[in-house]
Amino acid sequence: MSNDIWVLAEHQDGKVKKITFELLSAGIEFSKKTGQKVATLLLGSGLEEAVKSLTPFADEIYLLDDPSFTPYTSDAYLPSIASLGKEYQPSILIGGATSTGKDLFPRLAMHLQSGYAPDCTGLSIGEDGKWMARRPLFGGKIFAEMVFSEARPQMATVRNNTFLVNENPDRSAKVIPIASKTDPSALRKKVAGFEKAAGAKLDITEADIVVAGGRGIKAPENFKIMEDLADVLNASVGTTRATVDEGWRDLKDQIGKSGKNISAKLYMAFGISGAIHHVLGITTCKTVVAVDNDPNALIFNYADYGIVGDLFQIVPALTEELKKALSSV
Ligand SMILES: Cc1cc2nc3c(=O)[nH]c(=O)nc-3n(C[C@H](O)[C@H](O)[C@H](O)COP(=O)(O)OP(=O)(O)OC[C@H]3O[C@@H](n4cnc5c(N)ncnc54)[C@H](O)[C@@H]3O)c2cc1C
């Protein structure tokens, strides 16, 4: 029994995703209080660069080097991680509230007969040493604080940007090779390939900054001004259901109840009225800026900073000013 803090590493094209560094950074902070080791599970093949980047962020890297793990399928991951979980019994196993995390963790929890807190926006350790997971319910109207029963591991998926990445991680992980428990002939799912969207930026759930345009943008070609602003800020472009329904933008960029929940450090809304279905998706953003020409637009109730004005004047002016300001940094 290891009693350690385990983080499932996510990677794409051999590079570890930021959410993994966020979770390992949190793990390091918790381990300073509890004395537990921080370990990460890395599954895939051709992961030399990933191992190198993870080394300062963990005490141990459990490396399952097998081509069946790339790209991710729950079919391939499940038997191997479930077997590791049973053998080592970590205290807690966390992953990103990403499409991988949301697909894998409920299945793992079932296999390990353990508790699972999905889509968390906070983790802490109580006086009794038990982990507490905080998660928004009813679209962020209330937050539930959940503790786990005696079953181990305690399992949670955590949203992007819940924790900051430690800029000076001080660990030096030992790599522990683990034999895969996955039988390639038993795999029922096969990923045929990936298609990258044209000009793809980070997914809106992963981006630190999201700039979003709503129906106030008036025409699909006008989103060019949002793309220009996003380029300057290294942001991703989100939107509302109104523009998706119009066929102006892709569903993958929709924020809200029937779209995605985002936890960006900075969310900027342009020409978005602030309907409840939309704002349900931004309740855990750190700072919200809204621009709308209607002073009574509901979005101002949720914004930290608001500008009443015409977005077609404000967005290009903002882009120019930010370009100047950021070029001198
Ligand atoms: C079951 C259900 C689920 C839904 N799920 C979602 C969801 O996931 N996400 C979502 O977004 N919506 C969702 N909706 C729809 C939601 O209720 C709203 O209809 C939608 O969010 C409105 O989008 P909008 O703000 O872009 O458009 P509008 O409400 O039309 O707002 C446009 C805004 O632009 C402003 N504007 C216009 N011109 C300018 C200008 N020149 N400069 C500045 N401002 C300007 C206007 O003042 C207005 O405030 C859902 C609805 C239902 C019923």
Residues 6 or more apart whose CB falls under 8 angstroms from that of 264 comprise 161, 204, 207, 208, 209, 210, 282, 285, 286
Q: Which two tokens stand for residue 139?
A: 């679209």
CB 63 within 8 A of CB 178: yes
| Superfamily of domain 209-327, CATH level 4 | TPP-binding domain (3.40.50.1220)
146 pLDDT higher than 70: yes
CB 277 within 8 A of CB 256: yes
Which residues approach ligand 1 with their CB closer than 6 A?
214-216, 240-243, 254-259, 271-273, 275, 277-278, 291-294, 297, 310-312
Mean pLDDT for the stretch of residues 184-203: 82
Report residue 80: phi and psi, to 5°: -70, -45
199 pLDDT higher than 70: no
Q: CATH class for domain 5-186?
A: alpha beta
Instruction: Please state whether the peptide bond connecting residue 153 to the residue before it is cis, i.e. omega within 30 degrees of 0.
Output: yes
| β-bridge pairing 15-16 and 154-158 | unpaired
Rounded to 10 degrees, the C-alpha dihedral 45/48/52/53 comes to -50
Q: Which two tokens stand for residue 3?
A: 């009693």
Residue 47's Cα: distance from chain center in Å? 21
127 pLDDT higher than 80: no
- Which pLDDT band, with edges at 50, 70 and 90, does 198 fall under? low
Bigger pLDDT: 70 vs 8: 8
Q: Which residue has the tokens 């991703």?
A: 236
Distance CA 92, CA 103 (A): 18
Ligand 1 pocket test, pick from 211, 241, 282, 312 with the greatest ligand atom count within 8 Å of Cβ, gives 241
* Domain ranges in the chain with CATH number 3.40.50.620: 5-186
Q: What integer pLDDT is reported at residue 1 of this predicted model?
A: 64
Q: Which two tokens stand for residue 173?
A: 């992980």
Mean pLDDT for the stretch of residues 73-97: 95
pLDDT, tens digit (0-9, with 9 covering 90-100), for 234-244:
999 999 999 99
Bigger pLDDT: 241 vs 161: 241
Distance CA 243, CA 131 (A): 41
pLDDT, tens digit (0-9, with 9 covering 90-100), for 29-70:
999 989 999 999 999 999 999 999 999 999 999 999 999 998
200 pLDDT higher than 70: no
138 pLDDT higher than 90: no
* Residue 252 CA, ligand 1 centroid: distance in Å: 16
Average pLDDT over the chain reads 94
* Domain ranges in the chain with CATH number 3.40.50.1220: 209-327
* Residue 212 CA, ligand 1 centroid: distance in Å: 11
pLDDT, tens digit (0-9, with 9 covering 90-100), for 24-40:
999 999 999 899 999 99
